[in-house]
Amino acid sequence: MSDSIKTIAILGGTGDLGGGLARQWSRAGYTIVIGSRTLEKGQEAAAALLAEFPDLNVTGLDNPAAAEQADLVVLTVPFAHQLSTLDSVKHALIGKVLIDVTVPLVPPKVGTVQMPASGSAGQQAQDHLGEDVFVVSAFQNVGAMHLQEDHSIACDVLVTGNKRAARDTVITLIEALGLKGWHAGPIQNAAAAEALTSVLITINRHHKINGAGLVITGEPAAE
């Protein structure tokens, strides 16, 4: 476990992806705080996880309180709620790494790539929060159902962000889940990973695959 990151807040942890990350990181030894728009919903989400997995170290709070308590914050809300959620916790993110999992899916055509004017949700978050928050975009191509099950996940994670140290921190957390993370460049490159989500949705539908993923071939050279 990373020495500098002990407590992770997952904003939107009431959803499938957030709940799956909460489960997996708690089992990897991290303290998890699930954030929601209200204290009651955060507590209900934590209680539901604990009812199924009593060994987890999970509590629930509202989003601002969860972000305050955490060493690192993860945003897993729908694109429509990205900026409003960030506004509610902006003061608590200063100096921290924010993992933004947001994908700009626009129903009903979620299988069609539809990027925002900023270029990507990750770029939109970084622009909105400013340089005092270290936004790292990741996990867009990992099916939520895989994180809710106990099996190896054949999917790599593209990690983009403007600070190498922040990407390193996130890759450490990815490896704690048994996944492989790849440095994929600055936050502008988040557009590629986000767009791939719609491509994977289309592949899943057409080929009847339950949670297609992305694997990078080749092995890094020894340092």
N- to C-terminal Cα distance for the chain?
Answer: 22
Region 170-194 average pLDDT? 96
Enumerate domains of the chain plus CATH numbers: 7-207 (3.40.50.720)
**What is the rounded average pLDDT for all residues in the chain?**
93
Q: How confident is the model at residue 221 (pLDDT cuts 50, 70, 90)?
A: confident
Tokens for 79? 């694109």
Q: What percent of the chain has pLDDT over 70?
A: 99
Region 180-188 average pLDDT? 97
Q: Would the pLDDT of 1 be above 60?
A: no
Whose CA is closest to 25, among 47, 62, 53?
A: 53
pLDDT at 3: 64
Q: What is the pLDDT of residues 74-110, one digit of tens each?
A: 999 999 999 999 999 999 999 999 999 999 999 999 9
Q: What is the pLDDT of residues 120-161, one digit of tens each?
A: 999 999 999 999 999 999 999 998 778 877 777 889 999 999
Strand ranges (DSSP E) for the chain? 7-11, 31-36, 58-62, 72-75, 97-100, 134-137, 156-161, 180-183
Q: How confident is the model at residue 2 (pLDDT cuts 50, 70, 90)?
A: low
Q: Would the pLDDT of 194 be above 50?
A: yes
Residue in this structure with the two tokens 């704690």, named with its chain if needed: 176
Q: Classify burial at 95, counting beta carbons within 10 Å of its beta carbon; exposed 0-12, middle 13-18, buried 19 or more.
A: exposed
pLDDT at 222: 78
- State the number of CA atoms in the 13 A half-sphere of 46 facing the CB: 24
